[in-house]
Amino acid sequence: MRLVLMGPPGAGKGTQAQFLASYLSVPKISTGDIFRMHVTRGTELGHEARRYMDAGDLVPDEVTIAMVKERLDEDDTRDGFLFDGFPRNVAQAEIFGDMLAAMHTPLSVVLELVVDDDEVVRRLSGRRTCSECAHVWHMLFDPPSVEGICDHCSGKLFQRDDDREETIRHRLEVYADQTAPLVGYYATSGLLEGIDATGPVEDVTARAVASLRHWGQ
């Protein structure tokens, strides 16, 4: 099974990717993991990616794709893979598709976790991080016993800048800009399957697994 999982920030991609990769017995791959691996190993691609990352710029598509190609050449991808949040735009999707076609390993399905913006804001803006132990609490779903104080270490809780509503809504606008064409691209190719990502985590997983069974897995 060769799968791409996509969805906006706060849709639960990381959590669902872990469950689904385990269910399918395939490696979970994200470009973030690949970038960190190359940077840690000090590879030529890692040095190139680091230059952009340190400057706060996006790593160019050609560098990202080269890293993805190397990752797909590893033995553990022979029986399938799950890409978490890649590709991010149509240009990457086209190159990725050509690469897989040349390897005779076309995509099986693209799962899109569907959740509305207000729900994403509710999920992310409720997070509070401990200034001492870095544990993350949620004011609605997992609140501390005493507001503003970590149960584990009594450290003070704070809201990260990227968990503020205005930041979240900006990230959602950027995501919609970049991925709306990508959703259309995969829908046209007949590979896209939308999954309702609202409700408890286990319910979302059950919907995703049911969808994969529909696709033959």
pLDDT tens, position by position, 67-84: 899 899 999 999 999 999
The answer to whether residue 174 scores a pLDDT higher than 90 is no
From 69, 164, 169, 171, active-site residue: 171
Confidence label for 216 from pLDDT (cuts 50, 70 and 90): low
| Residue 64: per-residue pLDDT | 86
The answer to whether residue 215 scores a pLDDT higher than 80 is no
Given a contact cutoff of 8 angstroms between Cβ atoms, the answer to whether 120 and 201 are in contact is: no
Alpha-carbon distance 100 to 113, whole Å? Answer: 23
pLDDT in tens, 85-112: 889 889 999 999 999 999 999 999 999 9
**Which CATH number applies to 2-26+79-214?**
3.40.50.300
The answer to whether residue 199 scores a pLDDT higher than 60 is yes
From 50, 69, 88, 164, active-site residue: 88
Give 116's Cβ-side CA count (13 Å radius).
2
Q: Average pLDDT in the 58-62 region?
A: 81
Confidence label for 113 from pLDDT (cuts 50, 70 and 90): very high
Confidence label for 195 from pLDDT (cuts 50, 70 and 90): very high
| Residue 48: per-residue pLDDT | 83
From 2, 28, 127, 128, active-site residue: 127
Domain ranges in the chain are 2-26+79-214
The answer to whether residue 180 scores a pLDDT higher than 70 is yes
Alpha-carbon distance 111 to 170, whole Å? Answer: 23
Confidence label for 177 from pLDDT (cuts 50, 70 and 90): confident
| Residue 158: per-residue pLDDT | 95
From 13, 28, 71, 128, active-site residue: 13
Confidence label for 46 from pLDDT (cuts 50, 70 and 90): confident
Does residue 50 have an active-site annotation?
Answer: no
| Residue 144: per-residue pLDDT | 95
Give all strands (DSSP E) within the chain, no chain letters: 2-6, 28-29, 81-84, 109-114, 127-130, 136-138, 157-158, 192-196
The runs of H, that is alpha helices, within 5-89 are: 13-24, 31-41, 44-54, 61-72
Q: Which tokens is 64 given?
A: 């990202």
Does residue 123 have an active-site annotation?
Answer: no
Name the average pLDDT for the chain: 90
Q: Which tokens is 49 given?
A: 């990616």
Q: Average pLDDT in the 117-142 region?
A: 93
Does residue 13 have an active-site annotation?
Answer: yes
In sequence order, which residues have a C-beta less than 8 Å from that of residue 9 and are 6 or more positions away? Answer: 120, 124, 168, 171, 172, 175
